[in-house]
Amino acid sequence: MKQFQQTLTIQCHEQGFNDFTRALKMVVHQANFDGGLLALFTPDVGCSLSVQEKNAPGNRDRMEIMTGHHDNEAHARADLHEVDLHDHTRMAMTSPSLSIPIQNGRPVLGTWQAVCLYEHHSHANTRNIFLHIVGN
């Protein structure tokens, strides 16, 4: 049994889903695991991790409606306390971590699945994702 750790840095340009599946697959390939478990975690409360359908442009809109924050009135007023409340609600309804099996040297994902970082803030941010693989 072996272990591998790495930090992946993602540049988010705006609020919404940022697909980093390709970068994740490259890291798993370079780590040279045949099988195991990949754990991902972000320590930032302004974002979360999710597996989403690839190329589904309505995902962000549905997430905003689900969290009840589809009107950007707080953003327009620059009421930072209100914006933070929206971000914290998004975090409570999502997750800072994911676990994905590795089989035959690849993350096990469905045909239409993408691993995404959901940026909660409306401005650009650089986010870190900690990866830990355990396996053989």
- Which CATH number do you get for residue 9? 2.60.120.460
Question: What is the total count of domains within the chain?
Answer: 1
Q: What is the pTM of this model?
A: 0.81
Query: Phi-psi region for residue 55, left (φ > 0), alpha (ψ -120 to 50) or beta?
Result: left
Name the percent of the chain lying above pLDDT 90: 57
- The predicted structure's pLDDT at residue 45: 85
What residue numbers bound the domain in which 23 lies? 2-135
Q: Which of 136, 130, 89, 117 is nearest to 13 (CA)?
A: 117
Q: Is 72 a residue whose pLDDT tops 70? A: no
Residue-wise pLDDT for 97-110, tens only, equals 999 999 999 999 99
The residue-averaged pLDDT of 51-74 equals: 63
